[in-house]
Amino acid sequence: MVSFFDRPARVTQFKLVHAVWRRQRMEVLPGVAPVALLLARTDNTVVGLTDVRGYPNGFVFLLRVRWGLVADPYEEVPWPFPTWGSPDPLDGELFPDELLRFGVQFADGRRVTNMDQYPFVPEELPPDQPVLVEGGGVGSEGGRLGRGAFWDLELAVQPLPPPGPLAFVCAWPGRGIPEVRVEIDAGLVLDAAAAAVPFFAEARS
């Protein structure tokens, strides 16, 4: 008799990518790169990037998004990051101006952005195609004294970049930020990755 659940378990690229990251984060102490960037800055909005950590199979960083003071502390703050259910495909506009566009480009031209299929991972992922993995974050939509919203969002890129310029690119039409590009030497990330060590000597990684 065939069971209702007899189909073989499916290992998707999404599961695989996240499993690699979970295991790496659990088992490896990353190296840290001396990187602190202001990607974009206007009178009332800043996008910064710090806490770049190198792992054997990629790197992690913290995207620091800050709003300045707001006139109306009770104004509803649109969620600025594309996520599982946002933007809502039934709302018409697939990538509204309120969303922060962000991406990374390697020296050889390969790139990944938070548009495309993010935060999902394509099943037909070429072996060397970079993927962007969303980690945890903290934030606030503002305060009663008029402070604007802030978010610290952890993102990971897999795999490591090749030597050469490593570009971080962002644009945020809804906050008056045109497309900006800031490059660092990928060697900083590669050096950090080379300094990563297993927490326990016999750990897998």
Cβ atoms within 10 Å, residue 22: 11
Task: Rule CB under 8 A: choose which of 20, 104, 177, 192 binds other proteins.
Answer: 192
Polymer length in residues for the chain: 205
Smallest distance, other proteins to C-beta of residue 53, A: 7
Task: Rule CB under 8 A: choose which of 23, 110, 111, 147 binds other proteins.
Answer: 147
Q: Could you say whether residue 51 binds other proteins (CB under 8 A)?
A: yes
Q: Which residue has the tokens 């996008």?
A: 47
**Binding range to other proteins, per CB under 8 A, among 81-89, 160-168, 169-177, 192-200:** 192-200
Task: Rule CB under 8 A: choose which of 10, 11, 34, 76 binds other proteins.
Answer: 34
Nearest to 46 by CA among 149, 139, 146, 124: 149
Are 53 and 188 contacting, i.e. CB atoms less than 8 angstroms apart? no
Q: Could you say whether residue 110 binds other proteins (CB under 8 A)?
A: no
Which neighbouring-strand residues pair with 59?
54, 157
Nearest to 64 by CA among 82, 51, 77, 83: 51
* Sites of contact with other proteins (CB under 8 A): 25-26, 29-36, 38, 41, 46, 48, 50-53, 64, 66, 68-69, 136, 138, 140, 143, 145-147, 150, 192, 195-197, 199-200
